[in-house]
C-alpha cells in the first residue's frame, strides 16, 4: 500500500515537472502560426486578394457575398467609381455596408449553412483611398470633414497641422469601420515643371524629400492616433512617382532614376516611415507599390525595369535596403497598386485581345507583393470582374497544391496579413464588433482644423510680397464693382446621385457678402457684385452668350476675381482663361485682375501671370479655403504660406528656396548640456548658466542656432555648414564641414594649442555669423561671442490669429436714428428737415437776386433735385439687403444734399439762359 502510494506520488511529481516545462512553450505559441495551420489552401490564397464590386448590394445573391463567404478573400476596397457610396446620408450608409460585409465573413465561419462546413474566421480588410481635397481624390464626398489636399499642408510647412489633419482623417474613417487606409502619398515632386505629371497635382506634400518625410511622419502619427490603432496605414506610391514623365492611368509611366538617385530623393520619405522611423507611431503598416518603370535603375540609362510592382529583381533589390529590410522583417506589408488599370492591361496586351488577369496577379505576387489589389480587372475570356477573380483564386489554389515553393511564398505573405489583422483586433475567437453607432458623432467635426490649414497655406505667388502694396494699395471699396469668374465643375457621388458642384458659381461672392456685406461692416455693396462660370465666359468669347450681362458687368467692373481648379496643359479651362486674358485685354485695362488657384500653383506660365495684378494659391477648394481667399482679397489677412514645389512661371526654384537665407546672421554658441528638469510644482529659481572650465587638450562642442531658409523655415536636414577655426599667432586655419539636424549644426573641436582662436560659420549662401573667440591658456579658456554690427535678420511679421467664421451673422450696431436698413421716425424727421431747410434757403436766396416767380422755381428745382438724386442713389442699392444699415443716416443726408446742390445749379443755369434769351429778343 505504501509502495503504491509512493509510486503515485512519484508520477504526480514527474507530471507536474513536465507541465511546468511545457506550459511556457504553450503560452508562447504563435497565434498566427496556429491560425495559419487551420486554414485550407483556398482560405490561404483568398487572404492575398483585395477585391472590389459595383453598387451597394451585399446580400446573399450578390457576387461580393460569394467572394467573402465561399472564396475567403482577404479584403474589399470601396470606391466611388463603383457606386459603392449612395443614399442621402452617404457616411451612415457606408457604415452600414461595412458592418454588413464583416458580418458575411462572421456568418460563414460561425454560422455555417446546411451542408456548409464552418471555416476559419479572419476579419476582412475594408479599404479606402480618401486622400483629402475632394473628388477625384476622395471617395466619400459628403458627411465627413472636407480635409485639404496634401500640398496645402506642405505649403503651411507645419508638422502639427499635418498631424492634426491625420488625426481627423483617422478618427472619421475608423468610426465608419474602415481598417485599411490606402492613402498618404509620399511622392516627392522632383520635376522642374510639375505640371508635366498631372496625376499628382496637389496629392503630394511638395518637392523637398526632407519636408515630405517630416510632414509624412506627422500625418502617419495622426492617422494612428485618430484611429486608436484600429486602422492600418498604407503609404503610396512606392518607390516614388514624383518624377514620372506622364500620368499613369492609361499608360505605364517612366522615371529616369538610378537606384542611388532613388535612395537620395524618392526613397527618403519611405525610409523615414519604415525602418528609419524612431517612433513606432510614425511607422506605416504597409507600402502600396506603383506601376512605374525606372530607366537607368542599374546605371544604364538605356535600360528600364518592368513596372516595379511586377519586377521581382528590381523590387527585391529595393526592399533589401537596410531601412526597408528591417521594417519588412517585422511584418511590413507590400500592397500592389490597382491591377485593373488600363495601363496594366496595355502593358500585357498592347492589342487588347488576350489579357489574362491570373498571370498579372501571379507576377505581382511573385515580385514581392503580399496583398493583390485587383480593382475592376477583367480577363479577355471572362464576362465580368467576379468571374475573373474566381478564376484567379482557383489558379492560385491549384498552384499552391502543385508548387511547394509557391506554397511557401503564399504562407509567408498570409502570415504577414494575419499578423497585421491580429494587431488590429487581438483575437479572432469571436466576430469583431463594428464601431459604435454613437462614434459617428465625430464625422464632420474638423472644420476648425481645416481653417487652420487654409490660413497657414495661403500663398502669394505674384508679385513679390514687397511689391504687393504698390499694385494693391487698398482693398475693394463700397463703390467698386466686382466680377467673380469661377471654374465651376460638377460631379456625383454615384451614377444615380444628384449633382455636386465644385467651386460653385457664386461661392466666392457669398463668402465676400457674408464677411464684408451688410452684416459684416458694409464694406461692399451686394448689388455691385456679380458671378459667372467659365462656361458663360467661354460663350461670351465665342459670341454665343444668350445675353450681354457678362460683357456689361466686365465693362463696369473695377475688380475681376478669377477662381480656378486644376488646369493641366491642353485642358479646356486653361484654354478659356488664356483666351480671356489675351483677347479681351481692352476689357481688362485699368482693372484689378486677381487670380486664386484652388488647386496646384504651377499651371500658368510667365506670360499668363504677367497679365494678372496678383496671383494667389490656396491648394484646396473647400469652404474654409474660399473664406480665406475672401479675407486675402480684402487685405484682412496676409498670406503666410510658401510654395512647396517649383513654379517655373515665376522663376521659383524649390532647391534655392530651401537653401539658407543669405540675409541672416548664423548664431553660434557653446553646446552646453541641458539643465536637469525642474520637478513638477517646484519653485523655479533663476540661476546663472555654469560654463565648464576648458583647458588645452579638452574638446569643446559648438552649435549654431536654427538656420533658416528663404521662406524663414528651418533648412532641411543635411544642409552643409562650414565652421572655420583660425589662430593668428600660429597661423592655424582649419575648416570643418558638418550637416544640420532640424536646422542646427553641431561640431566638436579639440583645443590643441594655447592662443586666441576665432570661430565662424557659414552655410552657402549665408556667409555671416557670430564670432566666438576662445582665449586658450594653461589656466583655462575665456569665451567671448560677438555679433556683427550690421544686423541682417529681417523683422518678423506678426500674423494675427483668426478664428473660423461663425455661421451666425453678427448683428449690426444699434443706431438711435436707424431701424434696420432705413431711418426710423427720428431719422426720417431729420431727412425731411434737411430737405425743407435747403428748399427754404434756396427760395430766400432767390428772392434776394431775382423776382419771386424765379425764386419759387429755383426752390422747386432744389426740392425735386434732392428727392430725385436721393431716390436714384438709394434705389440703386438693393433695399434692406444693401449696405444701408452700415452706412447709417449720413448716407441719406448726403443723398439729399447732393440732389439739392444739383437742383441749385440747374436753377441758376435755367435763369441765366432765360435772361440771355430775353436780351436777344429785346435787341
Residues in Cβ contact with 740 at an 8 Å cutoff, skipping those fewer than 6 apart? 704, 707, 714, 715, 716, 717, 718, 719, 721, 763
Residues in Cβ contact with 482 at an 8 Å cutoff, skipping those fewer than 6 apart? 476, 509, 512, 524, 528, 529, 530, 557, 558, 559, 560, 561
318-322, 426-430, 609-613, 769-773: range with lowest mean pLDDT: 426-430
Measured CA to CA, the distance from residue 840 to residue 834 in angstroms comes to: 10
**In the predicted model, what is the mean pLDDT of residues 705-728?**
93
pLDDT band of residue 193 (cuts 50, 70, 90) is confident
Which residues are bridge partners to 572 per DSSP? none
Residue 657 parent element (H or E)? helix 654-657
Q: What is the pLDDT of residue 541?
A: 93
Interval 214-270: pLDDT, tens = 999 999 999 999 999 999 999 999 999 888 877 777 788 889 999 999 999 999 999
Measured CA to CA, the distance from residue 104 to residue 52 in angstroms comes to: 15
Cβ 751 vs Cβ 695: under 8 Å: yes
- Where does 255-356 have alpha helices with state H? 259-264, 268-272, 312-319, 322-329, 342-348
Is pLDDT of 730 > 50? yes
Measured CA to CA, the distance from residue 666 to residue 769 in angstroms comes to: 4
pLDDT band of residue 848 (cuts 50, 70, 90) is low
C-alpha cell recorded at residue 821: 436698413
- Where does 147-208 have alpha helices with state H? 150-156, 159-176
Cβ 655 vs Cβ 191: under 8 Å: no
Residues in Cβ contact with 191 at an 8 Å cutoff, skipping those fewer than 6 apart? 197, 242, 243, 646
pLDDT band of residue 756 (cuts 50, 70, 90) is confident
**Mean pLDDT score across all residues of the chain:** 85
Residue 918 parent element (H or E)? helix 889-922
C-alpha cell recorded at residue 711: 521662406
pLDDT band of residue 298 (cuts 50, 70, 90) is confident
CA geometry: angle 636, 639, 642, nearest 5 deg: 175
C-alpha cell recorded at residue 528: 455691385
Q: What is the pLDDT of residue 872?
A: 59
Q: What is the pLDDT of residue 862?
A: 66
Q: How far is CA 514 from CA 377, 488, 518, 524, in A?
A: 48, 20, 8, 10
> At which residue does the C-alpha cell 492609361 appear?
250
Our measurement of the distance from residue 815's CA atom to the centroid of its chain's CA atoms, rounded to an integer in Å, reads 44
In the structure, how many helices (H) and strands (E) does the chain have?
30, 28
DSSP string, 752-777: -S-EEEEEEEEBTTB--B-EEEEEE-
Interval 114-159: pLDDT, tens = 545 567 999 999 999 999 999 889 999 999 999 999 999 999 999 9
CA geometry: angle 496, 499, 502, nearest 5 deg: 140
DSSP 10: H
Cβ 292 vs Cβ 241: under 8 Å: yes
Share of the chain above pLDDT 90, in %: 64
How many CB atoms are located within 10 Å of the residue 838 CB?
A: 22
Q: What is the pLDDT of residue 198?
A: 60
Interval 64-121: pLDDT, tens = 999 999 999 999 999 999 999 987 899 999 999 999 999 999 998 887 655 455 679 9
334-348, 746-760, 837-851: range with lowest mean pLDDT: 837-851
Residue 51 parent element (H or E)? strand 49-51
Q: Can you give the pTM of this predicted structure? A: 0.83
> At which residue does the C-alpha cell 519586377 appear?
311
Q: Say if residue 904 is exposed, middle or buried (CB neighbours under 10 Å; 0-12, 13-18, 19+).
A: buried
Residues in Cβ contact with 782 at an 8 Å cutoff, skipping those fewer than 6 apart? 774, 775
- Where does 357-403 have alpha helices with state H? 357-367, 385-402
Q: What is the dihedral of CA 241, 242, 247, 252, to 10 degrees?
A: -30
Is pLDDT of 820 > 80? no
Which residues are bridge partners to 664 per DSSP? none
**In the predicted model, what is the mean pLDDT of residues 787-805?**
50
Our measurement of the distance from residue 712's CA atom to the centroid of its chain's CA atoms, rounded to an integer in Å, reads 21
Where would I find the beta strands (DSSP E) of 481-587?
Answer: 482-486, 489-492, 499-502, 529-533, 559-564
Q: Quick one: which of 262, 284, 276, 288 has its CA closest to 323?
A: 276
Which residues are bridge partners to 182 per DSSP? 234
Higher local confidence (pLDDT), 809 or 842:
842
Q: What is the pLDDT of residue 245?
A: 79
163-172, 545-554, 846-855, 867-876: range with lowest mean pLDDT: 867-876
Buried b (16+ CB within 10 A) or exposed e, 48-85: bbbbbbbebebeeebbbbbbbbebbbbbbbbbbebbbb
Q: Say if residue 517 is exposed, middle or buried (CB neighbours under 10 Å; 0-12, 13-18, 19+).
A: buried
Our measurement of the distance from residue 8's CA atom to the centroid of its chain's CA atoms, rounded to an integer in Å, reads 74
- 652 phi and psi angles, rounded to 5 deg: -90, 115
pLDDT band of residue 755 (cuts 50, 70, 90) is confident
Which residues are bridge partners to 615 per DSSP? 462, 595
Q: What is the pLDDT of residue 119?
A: 74
422: region left, alpha or beta (phi > 0 left; psi from -120 to 50 alpha):
alpha
Cβ 150 vs Cβ 202: under 8 Å: yes
How many CB atoms are located within 10 Å of the residue 40 CB?
A: 14
611-625, 645-659, 851-865: range with lowest mean pLDDT: 851-865
Residue 222 parent element (H or E)? helix 209-227
Is pLDDT of 181 > 70? yes
Measured CA to CA, the distance from residue 169 to residue 130 in angstroms comes to: 8
Q: Say if residue 611 is exposed, middle or buried (CB neighbours under 10 Å; 0-12, 13-18, 19+).
A: middle
CA geometry: angle 450, 453, 455, nearest 5 deg: 110
pLDDT band of residue 427 (cuts 50, 70, 90) is confident
Interval 640-698: pLDDT, tens = 999 999 999 999 999 999 999 999 999 999 887 655 555 555 554 544 444 566 777 78
**In the predicted model, what is the mean pLDDT of residues 56-69?**
96
DSSP 438: G
CA geometry: angle 686, 690, 696, nearest 5 deg: 170
Residues in Cβ contact with 313 at an 8 Å cutoff, skipping those fewer than 6 apart? none
Q: What is the pLDDT of residue 846?
A: 65
Is pLDDT of 879 > 90? no
Interval 368-400: pLDDT, tens = 999 999 999 999 999 999 999 999 999 999 999
Cβ 64 vs Cβ 50: under 8 Å: no
Q: Could you give the 3-state DSSP secondary structure of residue 595?
A: strand
Highest mean pLDDT among 221-235, 342-356, 727-741: 221-235
24-33, 307-316, 714-723: range with lowest mean pLDDT: 24-33
Interval 484-532: pLDDT, tens = 999 999 999 999 899 999 999 999 999 999 999 998 888 999 999 999 9
C-alpha cell recorded at residue 426: 487581438
Higher local confidence (pLDDT), 860 or 598:
598
Q: What is the pLDDT of residue 779?
A: 75
How many CB atoms are located within 10 Å of the residue 384 CB?
A: 12
Cβ 280 vs Cβ 225: under 8 Å: no
Cβ 585 vs Cβ 565: under 8 Å: no
The number of C-alpha atoms within 13 Å of 556 and in the hemisphere containing its C-beta is 14
Cβ 654 vs Cβ 646: under 8 Å: yes
Residues in Cβ contact with 591 at an 8 Å cutoff, skipping those fewer than 6 apart? 557, 558, 559, 560
Q: What is the pLDDT of residue 804?
A: 47
Q: Could you give the 3-state DSSP secondary structure of residue 109?
A: helix
DSSP 803: P
Q: What is the pLDDT of residue 801?
A: 41
Amino acid at each position: 500500500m505504501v509502495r503504491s502510494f509512493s509510486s503515485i506520488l512519484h508520477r504526480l511529481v514527474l507530471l507536474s515537472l513536465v507541465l511546468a516545462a511545457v506550459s511556457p512553450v504553450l503560452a508562447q505559441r504563435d497565434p498566427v502560426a496556429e491560425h495559419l495551420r487551420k486554414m485550407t489552401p483556398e482560405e490561404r490564397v483568398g487572404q492575398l486578394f483585395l477585391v472590389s464590386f459595383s453598387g451597394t448590394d451585399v446580400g446573399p445573391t450578390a457576387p461580393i457575398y460569394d467572394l467573402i463567404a465561399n472564396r475567403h478573400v482577404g479584403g474589399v476596397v470601396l470606391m466611388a467609381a463603383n457606386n459603392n457610396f449612395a443614399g442621402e446620408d452617404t457616411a451612415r450608409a457606408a457604415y452600414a455596408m461595412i458592418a454588413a460585409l464583416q458580418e458575411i465573413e462572421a456568418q460563414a465561419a460561425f454560422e455555417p449553412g446546411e451542408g456548409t462546413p464552418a471555416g476559419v474566421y479572419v476579419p476582412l480588410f475594408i479599404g479606402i483611398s480618401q486622400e483629402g481635397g475632394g473628388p477625384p481624390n476622395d471617395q466619400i464626398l459628403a458627411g465627413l470633414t472636407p480635409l485639404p489636399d496634401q500640398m496645402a499642408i506642405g505649403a503651411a510647412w507645419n508638422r502639427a497641422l499635418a498631424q492634426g489633419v491625420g488625426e481627423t482623417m483617422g478618427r472619421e474613417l475608423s468610426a465608419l469601420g474602415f481598417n485599411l487606409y490606402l492613402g498618404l502619398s509620399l511622392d516627392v515632386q522632383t520635376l522642374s515643371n510639375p505640371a508635366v505629371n498631372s496625376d499628382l497635382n496637389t496629392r503630394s506634400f511638395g518637392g523637398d524629400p526632407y519636408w515630405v518625410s517630416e510632414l509624412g511622419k506627422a500625418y502617419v502619427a495622426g492617422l494612428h492616433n485618430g484611429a486608436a490603432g484600429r486602422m492600418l496605414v498604407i503609404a503610396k506610391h512606392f518607390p516614388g512617382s514624383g518624377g514620372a514623365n506622364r500620368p499613369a492611368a492609361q499608360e505605364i509611366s517612366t522615371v529616369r532614376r538610378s537606384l542611388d538617385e532613388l535612395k537620395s530623393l524618392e526613397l527618403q520619405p519611405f525610409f523615414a516611415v519604415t525602418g528609419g522611423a524612431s517612433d513606432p507611431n510614425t511607422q506605416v503598416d504597409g507600402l502600396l507599390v506603383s506601376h512605374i518603370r525606372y530607366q537607368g535603375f542599374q546605371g544604364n540609362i538605356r535600360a528600364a525595369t518592368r513596372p516595379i510592382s511586377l519586377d521581382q529583381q528590381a523590387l527585391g533589390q529595393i526592399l533589401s535596403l537596410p531601412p526597408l529590410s528591417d521594417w519588412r522583417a517585422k511584418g511590413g506589408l507590400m500592397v500592389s497598386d490597382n491591377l485593373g488599370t488600363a495601363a496594366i492591361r496595355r502593358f500585357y496586351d498592347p492589342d487588347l485581345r488576350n489579357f489574362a488577369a491570373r498571370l498579372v496577379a501571379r507576377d505581382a505576387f511573385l515580385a514581392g507583393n503580399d496583398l493583390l489589389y485587383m480593382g475592376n480587372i477583367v480577363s479577355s475570356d471572362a464576362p465580368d470582374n467576379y468571374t475573373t477573380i474566381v478564376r484567379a483564386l482557383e489558379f492560385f489554389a491549384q498552384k499552391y497544391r502543385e508548387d511547394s515553393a509557391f506554397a511557401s511564398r503564399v504562407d509567408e505573405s498570409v502570415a504577414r496579413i494575419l499578423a497585421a489583422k491580429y494587431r488590429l483586433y487581438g483575437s479572432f475567437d469571436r466576430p469583431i464588433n463594428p464601431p459604435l453607432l454613437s462614434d459617428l458623432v465625430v464625422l464632420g467635426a474638423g472644420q476648425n482644423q481645416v481653417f487652420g490649414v487654409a490660413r497657414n497655406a495661403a500663398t502669394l505667388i505674384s508679385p513679390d510680397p514687397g511689391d504687393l502694396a504698390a499694385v494693391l494699395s487698398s482693398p475693394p471699396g463700397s463703390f467698386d464693382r466686382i466680377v467673380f469668374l469661377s471654374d465651376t465643375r460638377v460631379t456625383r457621388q454615384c451614377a444615380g446621385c444628384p449633382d455636386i458642384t465644385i467651386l460653385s458659381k457664386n461661392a466666392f461672392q457669398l463668402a465676400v457678402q457674408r464677411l464684408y456685406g451688410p452684416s459684416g461692416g458694409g464694406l461692399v455693396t451686394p448689388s455691385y457684385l456679380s458671378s459667372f462660370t467659365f462656361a458663360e465666359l467661354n460663350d461670351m468669347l465665342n459670341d454665343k452668350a444668350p445675353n450681354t450681362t457678362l460683357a456689361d458687368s466686365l465693362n463696369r467692373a473695377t475688380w475681376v476675381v478669377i477662381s480656378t481648379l486644376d488646369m493641366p496643359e491642353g485642358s479646356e479651362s486653361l484654354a478659356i482663361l488664356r483666351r480671356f486674358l489675351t483677347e479681351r485685354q481692352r476689357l481688362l485695362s485699368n482693372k484689378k485682375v486677381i487670380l486664386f488657384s484652388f488647386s496646384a500653383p504651377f499651371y500658368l506660365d510667365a506670360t499668363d501671370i504677367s497679365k494678372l495684378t496678383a496671383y494667389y494659391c490656396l491648394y484646396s477648394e473647400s469652404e474654409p479655403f474660399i473664406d480665406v481667399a475672401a479675407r486675402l482679397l480684402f487685405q484682412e489677412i496676409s498670406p503666410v504660406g510658401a510654395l512647396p514645389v517649383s513654379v517655373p512661371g515665376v522663376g521659383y526654384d524649390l532647391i534655392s528656396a530651401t537653401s539658407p537665407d543669405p540675409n541672416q546672421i548664423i548664431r553660434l554658441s557653446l553646446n552646453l548640456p541641458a539643465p536637469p528638469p525642474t520637478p513638477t510644482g517646484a519653485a523655479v529659481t533663476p540661476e546663472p548658466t555654469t560654463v565648464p572650465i576648458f583647458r588645452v587638450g579638452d574638446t569643446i562642442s559648438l552649435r549654431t542656432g536654427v538656420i533658416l531658409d528663404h521662406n524663414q523655415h528651418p533648412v532641411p536636414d543635411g544642409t552643409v555648414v562650414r565652421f572655420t577655426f583660425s589662430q593668428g599667432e600660429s597661423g592655424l586655419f582649419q575648416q570643418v564641414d558638418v550637416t544640420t539636424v532640424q536646422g542646427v549644426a553641431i561640431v566638436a573641436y579639440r583645443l590643441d594649442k594655447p592662443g586666441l582662436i576665432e570661430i565662424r560659420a557659414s552655410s552657402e549662401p549665408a556667409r555671416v555669423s557670430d564670432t566666438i573667440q576662445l582665449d586658450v591658456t594653461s589656466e583655462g579658456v575665456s569665451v567671448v561671442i560677438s555679433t556683427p554690427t550690421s544686423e541682417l535678420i529681417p523683422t518678423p511679421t506678426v500674423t494675427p490669429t483668426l478664428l473660423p467664421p461663425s455661421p451666425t451673422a453678427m448683428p449690426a450696431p444699434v443706431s438711435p436714428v436707424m431701424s434696420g436698413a432705413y431711418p426710423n421716425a427720428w431719422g426720417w424727421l431729420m431727412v425731411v428737415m434737411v430737405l425743407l431747410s435747403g428748399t427754404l434757403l434756396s427760395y430766400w436766396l432767390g428772392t434776394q437776386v431775382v423776382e419771386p416767380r424765379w425764386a419759387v422755381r429755383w426752390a422747386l428745382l432744389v426740392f425735386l433735385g434732392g428727392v430725385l438724386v436721393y431716390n436714384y442713389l438709394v434705389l440703386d442699392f438693393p433695399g434692406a439687403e444693401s449696405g444701408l444699415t452700415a452706412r447709417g443716416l449720413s448716407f441719406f443726408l448726403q443723398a439729399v444734399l447732393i440732389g439739392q446742390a444739383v437742383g441749385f445749379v440747374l436753377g441758376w443755369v435755367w435763369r441765366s439762359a432765360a435772361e440771355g434769351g430775353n436780351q436777344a429778343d429785346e435787341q
